[in-house]
Every structure is written in structure tokens, then in C-alpha cells.
Structure 1
Amino acid sequence: MSSKKIILDFYKSDALINSDVMKEYIHPEIIVDWNNSEGFTQLNYDAIINLTDQLNKAYVRTKVRISHILSEDNIISVRYSHFVKTIENPREEMLLAHFMVIWELKDNKLFRGFQISQKP
């Protein structure tokens, strides 16, 4: 499977709110450097699983709309908007944030990420 296809499948899955699915896509040695509205955060495997579990408690549905995706070998850049439906209001889709991420894959899994996000 191509690197681009792995990333597309990842964002189409429920990995962002289902830690069992997330575990299928991330490398055990994953590191993500994330610059966001709150500052800088570095996430490892356990932190990503914990974040996924937190998102699962707040949201019943998540959807990623990719506007750009570029790939070269095992490096993929993705620009997307992340939409969610909350437990309190499952009928209304809400924009969570806009993201730009560069992924490096290793062993066909997400291994190294450099991510920037901005809230609407």
C-alpha cells in the first residue's frame, strides 16, 4: 500500500476518536511535534492514545476534510479541516480546527509528525 493511501485511510477511519483503530496506524516509537493555539506539545505513543480517549469522551463523530495532500516516498503533507459532533449536540457538525501536518512513515505506520493547528 502506498504511503499516501495509508494516510488517506487513516483520516477516513475513526482513529481520531477510537484508540483501538489508532493503534493500527501508529508506530510504537511515534513522536508528534504539535504547534497549536495553546503553544508547543510533543506527543509520544501513550500521549496520542490518551488524547484519542479524551476525544472519544467529548465527540460522537469526527470527520476530516482534506484540501491538500502531497507525497514523496514515505513523507506525506496533509492540509485538512477537522469537524466534530459533540455528545451534547450530535446533530450539529462543528469545525474543531484547521491543520497542516507532515508525516513520515516507518514500517507502513505513522512514525514522525510535524503538525500545526489553528482554531476557527
Structure 2
Amino acid sequence: MSAKEVVKAFYESDMANDANVVSEFFHKDCELHWTSSQGFVLLNYKEIKDFFKGTRQSYNSLRFEFTHLIESNEFVTTRHTLFGKTIENPESEVILAHFSAIWEVKDGKLYRGFEISLPADENDFESLASYAERKI
């Protein structure tokens, strides 16, 4: 698989329900450098595994919509919006956040990620329109 195919397969996986997502898609020596509205965090393989365990306890489903998915050798850059259905309200899908990420793929797995996320504001129509553009 190309680096872009690996990243795309990860985002298309059932990460809200599949306990094998991390072992299937993440390199054992991976790092995720994540800056969010809560600040910066550096996650290793075990911490990513714990993060997705918590995700599975909170969400029935997660869905990603991409505006950009660009590959350059082993690097893939994404710009996307995350939608989710919580366990408490499985009938209603909500916009959770907007993301930009750069992934390095090594040995067919996600090796190093640099991610920035911000909460999505459903009342900010310019922002929502910006994330509706497709440049894949």
C-alpha cells in the first residue's frame, strides 16, 4: 500500500468499535505530536492505544470528511472534519473538530504524526464552508 492508502484506510476504519485499530495501523515506535485547544501532547504507542480505548467507550461511530489528502513519498497531509455519534445519543451525529495532520508512514504503518485540531463551531458558516471544499 502507498502511504496515502495507509492513511486513508486508517481514517476509514471502524476506530470507534475495533479494538485492533492501533495494532493494525500504528508502528510500535510511533509518536503523535498533537496540538489541540487543550494544549500540546506527545503520545507514544501505548498512549495512543489507551486514547482509542477511551474513544470506544464514548462513541458508537466516527466519520471523517476530507478537504485535502496529499501524498509526498512517505508523508501524507490531511485536512478534515471529524463527526461522531456518542453512546448517549446514537441517533444524532455531531461535528466534533477540524484537523490538519501530517503523517509519516514507515513499514506500512503510521509512524510519526503532527496534528492540530480545533473544536468545530456549527454556527461559524464560513469555517464550515471552508471545510466543505474538496481538494482530494
TM-score using structure 1 length: 0.96
Change (3 A) 1:57 1:49: same
Change (3 A) 1:35 1:16: farther
Structure 1 moving runs of 4+ over 4 Å: none
1:43 aligned residue:
43
Larger Rg: 2
Does the alignment pair 1:59 with 2:66? no
Change (3 A) 1:98 1:80: same
Give, in whole Å, the separation in 2 of the partners of 1:92 and 1:73.
Answer: 38
The Cα shift of 1:18 comes to 2.8
The Cα shift of 1:96 comes to 1.0
Instruction: Tell me which amino acid in the other structure corresponds to 1:11.
Output: Y
* Matching of residues 1-120 of structure 1 within 5 Å: 1-15=1-15, 17-120=17-120
Give, in whole Å, the separation in 2 of the partners of 1:17 and 1:47.
Answer: 18
Change (3 A) 1:16 1:77: farther
CA contact (8 A) 1:18 1:52 kept: no
Give, in whole Å, the separation in 1 of the partners of 2:42 and 2:16.
Answer: 17
Give, in whole Å, the separation in 2 of the partners of 1:87 and 1:109.
Answer: 29
Number of residues of Structure 1 aligned to a counterpart in Structure 2: 120
Structure 1: stretches of 5+ with no match in the other structure? none
CA contact (8 A) 1:76 1:103 kept: yes
Give, in whole Å, the separation in 1 of the partners of 2:19 and 2:112.
Answer: 18
* Identical residues among aligned pairs (%): 38
